[in-house]
Amino acid sequence: MRLAIFDGRDGENRLGVVTGTGIADVTDALPWPHDPDPLTAGWWRRMCRDFAEVRPALEKAAERAPPARDVRLRAPVLSPSKIVAAASNYAAHVAEMHDVQRRTLGRVEPWMMEFDVFLKSPTSVSGPADDIMLPPVEGEIHHEAELVAIIGAGGRPFGYTVGLDITVRAEGDRSRRKSYATFSPLGPWLTTADEAGSPAGMDIELERNGVIRQQVSAGDMLVPVGDIIAYADGIMPLLPGDVLFTGAPPGVGPIAAGDTLRARITGLGEMRLRVR
């Protein structure tokens, strides 16, 4: 099943099922009161946890609801308790970072070449209809198109989506350099894990202004999704609705105002984003 969050008439968050013909509004099929407040957003995290229970009602509602075509999609996550991101998870990316660091830092930081996890601020999330806003900072700002998992019950992946881990290449901590507003575009929707299939069969691709910059099989990850989750969960328990970036494929590079980026992953859809 493909689940979307979209703008309701009053600007509230509505839950949609993506069908062959559009987005079916299934919000009212959830068996608990809908809480439109994005600050609390407990209904979304609860759905990530209890999806197996509510799925039949959502499927039935999706068959009945008239599909809408021209809705404004938002990121398919709401108020995650945290965004965990993997670093150095593709060998070819680790290799290219030697050159990138020599250019942007004037040296190579060996600790940054090791697999690990770090945190991005949940306020960095933006949706597939939002522009990426570049902050006025020194240094290159890079695209990292990544497979993103959304956590469900028992710390298992509930679903997957396409994400960009936008990054300032400069001195200092990753959490600062990757947490500006709009530095975590997610979308266009969440595809549940059963429908998405194994990440090993997914290709990740990013185009900048029509030129392919990143293209890799998610099967090339050094640490597969289940092992990233196990590692992160042993440090900071992953809660339903949490977001996991699984690491940058090779081909990262600078973006600039006026650019158009297209990020797509097999079976998960595509986002077209403008940079401002």
Q: Under the rule (CB under 5 A), what is the footprint of Mn ion?
A: 144, 165, 248
3-state secondary structure of 37: coil
- Closest distance of CB 240 from Mn ion, Å: 23
- Closest distance of CB 202 from Mn ion, Å: 16
- Closest distance of CB 225 from Mn ion, Å: 14
Nearer to Mn ion, 19 or 175 (CB): 175
Nearer to Mn ion, 130 or 165 (CB): 165
- Closest distance of CB 97 from Mn ion, Å: 11
Nearer to Mn ion, 54 or 248 (CB): 248
What's the Rg (C-alpha) of the chain?
A: 18
Distance, in Å, from the CA atom of 167 to the CA atom of 164, rounded to the nearest integer, reads: 9
- Closest distance of CB 131 from Mn ion, Å: 20
Amino acid at 126: S
User: Are the CB atoms for 271 and 263 separated by under 8 Å?
Assistant: yes
Q: For the sheet containing 211-217, what is the strand order?
A: 211-217, 203-208, 260-265, 269-274
- Closest distance of CB 143 from Mn ion, Å: 10
Query: Could you tell me which residues come within 8 angstroms of residue 238 by beta carbon, excluding any fewer than 6 positions away?
Result: 84, 151, 155, 229, 232, 244
Number of other CB atoms surrounding residue 31 within 10 Å: 9
Nearer to Mn ion, 123 or 192 (CB): 123
Nearer to Mn ion, 27 or 184 (CB): 184
Nearer to Mn ion, 25 or 165 (CB): 165
